[in-house]
């Protein structure tokens, strides 16, 4: 019930924005109808995502499932793909930072530091 109310509130806010931008009015009945349709469509999306994961013999919904769901809307699919790539790259950066922190905390050298140390040793041996 709270989720339904939250959807209704969000739809109302979006309708207000559109009303101001396009200089139109939305009746309370039309906002309620849009809200109800939106909520029902979200329920359908949730069931579809669950079925996609189950079909792949998984219990977790992945970004690939979401992309499959959005396949009929080119702009939405493009947006989801872009956000997915951004999340993946930031996740990789976080992992690399953690790796560097843990290796320096243990007194280990990063590959760049190891190379610099080897070069320093070679230079001092030649002199």
Q: What is the pTM of this model?
A: 0.67
Residue 103 lies in a domain: no
Q: How many domains does the chain have?
A: 1
Residue 116 lies in a domain: no
**62-109 pLDDT, tens per residue?**
999 999 999 999 999 999 999 999 999 998 888 888 877 776 666 555
Angle between helices 2-22 and 28-55 (to 10 degrees): 120
Residue 7 lies in a domain: yes
Residue 10 is part of which domain span?
1-43
Query: Residue 55's CB: how many other CB atoms inside 10 A?
Result: 10
Residue 4 lies in a domain: yes
44-48, 76-80, 114-118: segment of lowest average pLDDT: 114-118
Residue 119 lies in a domain: no
CATH of the domain at 21: 1.10.20.10
Residue 29 lies in a domain: yes
């Amino acid at each position: 019930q709270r989720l339904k109310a939250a959807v209704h509130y969000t739809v109302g806010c979006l309708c207000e924005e559109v009303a101001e931008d396009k200089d139109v009015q939305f009746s309370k009945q039309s906002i309620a109808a849009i809200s109800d349709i939106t909520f029902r469509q979200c329920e359908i999306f949730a069931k579809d995502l669950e079925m996609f994961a189950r079909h792949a013999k998984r219990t977790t919904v992945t970004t690939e499932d979401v992309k499959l769901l959005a396949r009929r809307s080119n702009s939405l699919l493009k947006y989801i793909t872009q956000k997915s790539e951004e999340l993946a790259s930031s996740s990789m950066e976080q992992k690399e930072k953690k790796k560097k922190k843990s290796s320096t905390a243990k007194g280990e050298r990063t590959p760049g530091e190891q190379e610099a140390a080897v070069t320093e040793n070679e230079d001092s041996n030649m002199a």
